Structures are given as structure tokens and as C-alpha cells.
Amino acid sequence: MFDRIDPLSAPSAPNPYPYYARLRKERPWYRDDALGAWVASSSAAVEAVLGNDALRVRPPSEPVPTALHATYLGRAFALLARMTDGPHHDAARAALLVSLETIACAESDAAIARCAGRLLVDGADDTRVIDRYLFALPVGTIALLLGIRDEALHEVTEAARAFVTALVPAAPPRALTSGEHALQRLRSTFEACIEHCEPGTPLAALASRIDRTFTREAAIANAVGLLFQSHDAVAGLIGNTLCAHPADAADLDALVADVARVDAPVHNTRRYAAHDVTIAGATVRRGDTVLAVLAAANDDPARSLPYYTFGLGAHACPGTRLALRIAAQGVAHLRARIDLSTLRAASYHPAPNVRIPIFTSPIDETGSIA
Ligand code: HEM
């Protein structure tokens, strides 16, 4: 029964939840030889993994993916809070927390409305608009909050997309080249924004933390990193909320919070053992990969948290509040313009860790069934 689906194909399966329930019950913490990874799916196992500081966000032998060595992408990757542990992570994370805390709800709502207004031009009601909106709304909103001008929004959103695509493991050389150019453009844009940012803004807060551990280069990389972090994850949260029949939901904030647990956008995250360590009775060896299946733990009746979608411990998501709000307001703006009552996912993006619906069916895209 476990043959046709595994923890990496589950996020794009039409309905992975019966599989997750069985996995959690029958194999809450096991070594999967086919995947070459330990897999944690019960809430206790996921908490043990994400709470153990011997398990790091990057393999000890490859802090930066080999394909990114000697590239600009690799230099930025090595500075991202999400991709580091230790003193650099602590400093970058502290700066990000201070930065994101400056964003008031009214301010994020205004940025979401401005961005939605640009993306949803009157009369555009086909599913391709929605498929693009899922990604462009969160990235555009964060960009506006970071001080990007409206006129530069399209270019920044496209550059963020190229950057994200280049960081996908085993990205083809063409994607790496576009990502490298995109990052250079984003770097110059944010450099100029840091130069001219108003006091009290998220970018000014980030810049105020620049010191010997958290350099100017790191501040810029992590500002770009915010676009990266919101790109797929918020797209999934908006998309999965659209699949949860929001057409007549009375309270979209409540619906989004529910979807974040029952049909989460981020299904799993990885860790790598920095040294041999015992976890839930098993010895995990230095260099071993561990997969924490957040989406399986979300439905564990024994869970001690409302959900695991935003992670926990040292790397827990600092953008949770903003992400939930962008999704709820994003769906509200869409609902005000487009009839969502018949919207259905045609398929899901073939990603191993995020669940993002695609609403355009192949026949709409190409004129013939793919
Ligand atoms: C629905 C949307 C989102 C989901 C489900 C999500 C989920 C997560 C998860 C699970 C992690 C931890 C990964 C790990 O421990 O391996 C994380 C980290 C992070 N997230 Fe989010 N995220 C979302 C949106 C955002 C947004 C909008 C931002 C900021 C604008 C953001 C910023 C970050 C950052 C900077 C980290 C790295 C923190 C660190 O390593 O200390 N996320 N996110």
C-alpha cells in the first residue's frame, strides 16, 4: 500500500492525506532506504527532529550546493538565515524578526490591495490569471513592503521567480544563468532601497542590525530571501484556500488558518546530522538526511501544537502572521473580481515539499490534451 506514493510524491498527489494518516500510524519514525533518508511523520517525531540541534539545515559536507559554488547565487545562499545554523543564523534571524515586526496589519493590507489591483485587471478572469496571481501576489506584496516602487514591481517579481527557480535542487544550467542575472538585478535594486529607506520601515530595521556578523551583503541577501521564502509557500496557501470553496466563506482569516493545517502549503522540510545522534531510539549518523513530514504531523491527534506548517524551533517561520494575512486578503480580492464557485485544481506542481495547485488544465494551455 506504500508503493505508489512516498513522502516526496505525496505533496503533489490529488489527496495525500489518507497516506499520511497510515504513515503516521504504521511508521511514525523510520529509515526509508529508497529515499535515502530518515522520515518523521508523527507529531512527537517531528518535534524531536526539529528540536534537535545536532540536526542542521544543510549537510555538513555541503553548506552550499555544489552547483552554486563560485556563483553569486552561492554567495547569497551562504548568507540566508534559512540555510545556515550557528552565530550567522542567530544574527540574521534576529534582524529578520525585528524587520518583520515593523509591519503593521494596516500597512500589509494596503500593500496587498495595491499589488492585487495591479494583477487583477478588469475582465481578466481566466485560470491563467489565477495561476500567476498565486505567486505574484505574495512576492509583490513583500517587495512593496520592502520599499520597491510600483513601477519596478513586475521586474522584481519576474527576477524573484528566476531566483527561486535557480535554487531548486538540480536546476538546469539555463535556470542557474537566469537566476544569477536575476539576483544581480535584485541586489542592485535592494542596495538602492537600503540607501534611501525611511526610518521605521522593514528595510531600515534590517539595515539597523548590520554589524560584523550580519554584514550589508547579508542584509541584502536576506531581503531577497524574504521574496524567496514567500514565493512558493504563500502561493500554496492561497491556492489550497481556493480549493477549499472560499466563494461563500464568512470568515476568510478563519478559513485560511484551517487550510494551513488541513491542506498545508509546505509538506516537509529537511535536516542533516552534524554528528551521530540518537533520536527516538534510533542512531542517526553524521551526514544522514532526515525528512520532517509536517503535513502528516498536522493531523496527529496527539499533537501539542495547533499545526506544524510553519515549522518550530530555531528555524520556525518568522513570516507566519504576514503569510496568513496575504492569503486571506489575497483570496478576498480575487473573490471580489472573479467567480470562484466552479474553480477546481486541475493538478499540482510537481514539487517534493510544497503543495501548490494548478488551475489551468492542459487543454486550456495548449489547445490539445497534453
Ligand atoms: C504560507 C506561507 C509560509 C509557510 C507555510 C512557511 C513555512 C516555513 C517553514 C516550515 C519554515 C522553517 C523551515 C525549516 O525549519 O526547515 C520557514 C522558515 C522561514 N520563513 Fe516561512 N513560510 C511561509 C511564508 C513566509 C513569509 C511570507 C515569509 C517572510 C516574508 C517567510 C519567511 C521565512 C524565513 C526568513 C524563514 C527562515 C527562518 C530561519 O531559518 O530562522 N515565510 N517558513
With a cut of 90, say whether residue 121 has pLDDT above it: no
Q: Residues 319, 229: contact at Cβ < 8 Å?
A: yes
Cα distances (Å, whole numbers) of residue 126 to 90, 95, 129, 249, 367:
44, 40, 6, 22, 14
pTM (two decimals): 0.96
Q: Could you tell me the three cell numbers for 232?
A: 512558493
Angle at 109 between CA 105 and CA 110, to 5 degrees: 120
pLDDT tens per residue across span 235-262: 999 999 999 999 989 999 999 999 999 9
Ligand 1 atom with least separation from CA of 326: 27
Ligand 1 atom with least separation from CA of 227: 30
Residue 10 is classified by DSSP as G
Q: Where are the beta strands (DSSP E) in 224-268?
A: none
**What share of the chain has pLDDT > 90, as a percent?**
94
To the nearest 10°, report the CA torsion of 109, 112, 115, 118.
-80
With a cut of 80, say whether residue 147 has pLDDT above it: yes
How far apart CA 366 and CA 105 sit, in angstroms, is 41
How far apart CA 16 and CA 264 sit, in angstroms, is 11
What does the buried/exposed string (b/e) look like for 257-281 if buried means 16 or more CB atoms within 10 Å of the residue's CB? bebbbebbbbbbbbbbbbeebebbe
Domains of the chain with bracketed CATH: 10-360 (1.10.630.10)
Q: Which residues neighbour 348 within 8 Å (Cβ) at sequence distance 6 or greater?
A: 11, 12, 13, 14, 355, 356, 357, 358
| Sign of the C-alpha dihedral computed for residues 82, 23, 289 and 313 taken in this order | positive
What is the amino acid identity at position 342?
T
As a whole number, mean pLDDT of residues 98-115 equals: 97
Q: How confident is the model at residue 124 (pLDDT cuts 50, 70, 90)?
A: low
Ligand 1 atom with least separation from CA of 81: 40
Q: How confident is the model at residue 123 (pLDDT cuts 50, 70, 90)?
A: low
The chain-wide mean pLDDT, for the chain, equals 95
pLDDT tens per residue across span 16-25: 999 999 999 9
Q: What are phi and psi of 101, to 5 degrees?
A: -65, -20
Ligand 1 pocket test: which of 96, 317, 325 has the largest number of ligand atoms within 8 Å of its C-beta? 317
Q: Which residues line ligand 1 (CB under 6 A)?
A: 57, 81-82, 93, 96, 142, 225-226, 229-230, 233-234, 237, 265-266, 269, 309-311, 315, 317-319, 322-323
pLDDT at 367: 42
Residue 171 is classified by DSSP as -
Centre of ligand 1 to C-alpha 317, Å, is 4
pLDDT tens per residue across span 45-92: 999 999 999 999 999 999 999 999 999 999 999 999 999 999 999 999
Cα distances (Å, whole numbers) of residue 368 to 42, 131, 132, 365:
43, 19, 21, 8
User: Which protein residue has the closest C-alpha to ligand 1 atom 37?
Assistant: 82
**What share of the chain has pLDDT > 70, as a percent?**
96
pLDDT at 363: 63
How far apart CA 5 and CA 20 sit, in angstroms, is 10
